[in-house]
């Protein structure tokens, strides 16, 4: 399941040129990655509550179905809007899948060995280090739509293996949750915080992707799949209302989110206290921030830079992708292991 969700974004991001050459929307290609990430972030805070409502096994199966449906939409898309929509649906599934995998592994292994097992789970992405090369070879030798077939097939395998082999431990409660328990659980979801955070992030991202820099656009000969010599540039200043208004609204919503979390939310999404293990939480947040910042810089910035500055196939530059992603994952796995260990020994099971 972990590889099925990670495979979607790291492989699809390797062939944007072939995608927008075929279906258009070159100026919006970054949104099929950002739409995926935003929908993943939107569902992530509620995965725990949904797991308690539906059961972790059911939720894991639903996540695989969402990935399959989203990738099917992408594979049959005829324009960039449909492709972005498919990636948004996929993002919901990957957000559920990612957290379900971590929680599932944690509950199946001894508490003292969770660090080892989570580090090994992180290393499972190593076979997909040459993901850009895979995407380029598929898109250049046949059609980019087979990338969607590969990612959907991976999710289908995850669905079958989950259905056949994953049986989560029974909950410690003496009785199954009643309808009243489920209603109470829904009321504990911080829906207001989720709306403020995601809408604010989306508005800020719209502004950051649209303003303050030159946008290079190439026209393509779709019959031969080659770039024409026409090259023109446009620029949107920060003072443009299409940039300044989303930026101001997004910043306001993010400020409102933090105020709500600190002062208004009865069950805040962000913990007001670090809890019993502040070192573990702090290290996990630092590892996530550093590895995520580097990973998505490679994912979003390098493809555009590689093509627009040097104008050659990514296949010949995929070795740099492999090296960067390998370093990131090899560095992250020991960090996960360290972060999952307490200086005073393993903590008691919750």
Q: What is the pLDDT along the chain (350 residues), one digit of tens a residue?
A: 666 666 787 788 778 888 888 998 877 777 888 888 889 888 988 888 888 888 888 998 999 999 999 999 999 999 999 999 999 999 999 989 888 888 888 888 887 787 778 777 777 777 777 777 788 888 888 889 999 998 999 899 989 988 998 888 776 655 666 777 778 888 888 889 889 999 998 898 888 877 765 544 444 444 444 444 333 344 567 778 888 899 999 999 999 998 998 888 888 887 666 556 677 777 777 877 777 777 767 666 666 666 666 654 544 444 444 555 555 555 455 555 554 554 444 444 43
User: Do residues 199 and 306 share a domain?
Assistant: no
- According to the model, what pLDDT value does residue 223 have? 43
State which of 239, 266, 293 marks the end of a domain: 266
Residue 220 inside a domain? The answer is yes
User: Do residues 18 and 126 share a domain?
Assistant: yes
Residue 227 domain boundaries: 190-266
User: Long-range contacts: 346-350, Cβ < 8 Å, 24+?
Assistant: 346/111, 346/112, 347/111, 347/276, 347/277, 348/111, 349/111
Among 66, 74, 75, 78, which Cα is nearest to 39's? 66
Rounded CA gap, 135 and 342, in Å? Answer: 40
277 Cβ contact partners less than 8 Å away, ≥ 6 residues apart: 342, 347
State which of 205, 239, 266 marks the end of a domain: 266
Residue 350 inside a domain? The answer is no
Residue 227 inside a domain? The answer is yes
User: Do residues 26 and 144 share a domain?
Assistant: yes
CB 20 within 8 A of CB 80: yes
In whole numbers, what is the pLDDT of the chain averaged over residues?
76
Residue 344 inside a domain? The answer is no
Tally of domains in the chain: 2
User: Do residues 199 and 55 share a domain?
Assistant: no
Residue 272 inside a domain? The answer is no
User: Do residues 143 and 24 share a domain?
Assistant: yes
User: Do residues 206 and 179 share a domain?
Assistant: no
User: Do residues 285 and 227 share a domain?
Assistant: no
pTM of the entire predicted model: 0.78
Residue 18 inside a domain? The answer is yes
Residue 345 inside a domain? The answer is no
């Amino acid at each position: 399941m972990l590889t099925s969700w990670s495979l979607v974004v790291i492989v699809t991001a390797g062939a944007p040129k072939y995608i927008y050459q075929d279906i258009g929307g070159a100026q919006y290609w970054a949104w099929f990655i950002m739409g995926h990430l935003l929908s993943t972030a939107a569902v992530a805070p509620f995965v725990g509550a949904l797991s308690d409502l539906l059961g972790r096994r059911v939720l894991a199966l639903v996540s695989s179905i969402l990935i399959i449906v989203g990738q099917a939409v992408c594979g049959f898309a005829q324009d960039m809007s449909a492709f972005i929509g498919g990636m948004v649906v996929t993002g919901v599934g990957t957000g559920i899948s990612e957290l379900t995998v971590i929680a599932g592994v944690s509950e199946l292994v001894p508490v003292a060995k969770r660090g080892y097992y989570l580090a090994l789970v992180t290393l499972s992405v190593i076979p997909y280090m040459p993901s850009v090369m895979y995407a380029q070879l598929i898109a250049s030798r046949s059609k980019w739509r087979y990338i969607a077939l590969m990612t959907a097939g991976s999710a289908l395998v995850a669905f079958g293996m989950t259905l056949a082999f994953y049986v989560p431990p029974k909950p410690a409660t003496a009785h199954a949750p009643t309808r009243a328990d489920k209603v109470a659980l829904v009321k504990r979801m911080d829906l207001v915080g989720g709306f403020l955070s995601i809408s604010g992030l989306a508005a800020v991202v719209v502004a950051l992707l649209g303003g303050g820099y030159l946008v290079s656009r190439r026209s393509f000969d779709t019959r031969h799949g080659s770039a024409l010599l026409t090259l023109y540039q446009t620029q949107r200043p920060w003072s443009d209302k299409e940039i300044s208004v989303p930026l101001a609204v997004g910043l306001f919503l993010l400020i409102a989110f933090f105020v709500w979390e600190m002062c208004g939310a009865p069950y805040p999404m962000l913990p007001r206290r670090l809890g019993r293990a502040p070192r573990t939480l702090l290290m996990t947040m630092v590892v996530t921030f550093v590895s995520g910042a580097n990973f998505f810089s490679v994912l979003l910035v390098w493809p555009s830079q590689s093509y627009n500055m040097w104008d050659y196939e990514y296949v010949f530059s995929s070795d740099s992708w492999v090296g960067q992603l390998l370093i990131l994952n090899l560095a992250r796995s020991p960090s996960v292991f360290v972060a999952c260990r307490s200086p005073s020994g393993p903590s008691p099971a919750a």
